[in-house]
Amino acid sequence: MEVKKKWSVLETQCFQGLRVSESTPLMKGGGAMYQYKLTFALANNRLPLEMDRLLVSFLKSSARACSQHFYEKLYDKSRSVIKGYTYSCYLPGAKFHKDGIELAGQEFCLFFSDFDQMELLSFFNGFQQMKYKEYPIAGNSMRLTSIRMQQLREMKEEEIVIRMQSPLIVRRHDSERNTDTYYTCGMEGFERTLKENTDFFIEKMSLPVSTEKFSIEMIKGKKVVIPVFGRNTDASLGIFKLTGSRQLLNILLLSGLGSRRSEGHGKFEVVG
């Protein structure tokens, strides 16, 4: 059964679009741009190393809590569904050990954004249904205690400086050999492959947005090796200069960059 929610005046205004201009991103629903800050309380200060498995599971449960139709739209196993959302985590005082992550306290945050505002609204409904419910983790549990909406600044420039909030994965897939090649900042082919990833996303989402001006330049970056569903994967962190049309940059701000965005990769903030 689909859960229906009565929206407050403030929530309704946020998603009806406060201002539309030439540089407003081509998002379903249009209007201003937002992300959610979700705060979780833990039974103890330990988290698993594979946070992607945990949080993807939580997002799936949230989608199902909204409605079965919404869940099947995003996670239908019979077809490949390109997601329009991304997220990053803030883990205060995190220390990484072989058997897990140790936090300074018993709380962490997740920042979630989606270029499709109606989808974002559906997730809000699902998050509300998950609020205060104990969600199991191996040797621990977590509860969503707070959902805050944060407005993001609309991009008016075609060149911005960004800082990666979650690792950037740039991948070229060979369908004939069923192999993946990963590129990190500083490698030959990094920018070209990231543009291919961006072109693929825009095409699959059927967005009438040009990627012709797209480029990325490393200002200060580094290679990192991260676990992605149990497999060590090359990725990049750091500060980059990103160039593209205003509409494209606004969409990427909400959907993330590169591959595996919906698994907590490629989210960035604008710093200049």
Q: Is the model's pLDDT at 30 over the cut of 60? A: no
For residue 230, report the phi and psi dihedrals to the nearest 5 degrees. 85, 0
Q: Which domains does the chain have, with CATH numbers?
A: 9-152 (3.30.70.1890), 159-270 (3.30.70.1900)
Q: Hey, what are 98's tokens?
A: 């072989």
Please check the confidence at residue 27 and state whether its pLDDT lies above 70: no
Q: What is the pTM of this model?
A: 0.88
To the nearest whole percent, how much of the chain has pLDDT over 90? 83
The pLDDT tens digits of the residues spanning 200-257 come to: 999 999 999 999 999 999 999 999 999 999 899 999 999 999 999 999 999 999 999 9
The pLDDT score that the predictor gives to residue 28 is 53
DSSP string, 117-159: HHHHHHHHHHHHHHTT-EEEETTEEEEEEEEEEEEEPPP--SE
- CA dihedral (247, 253, 255, 260) in degrees, to 10, reads 130
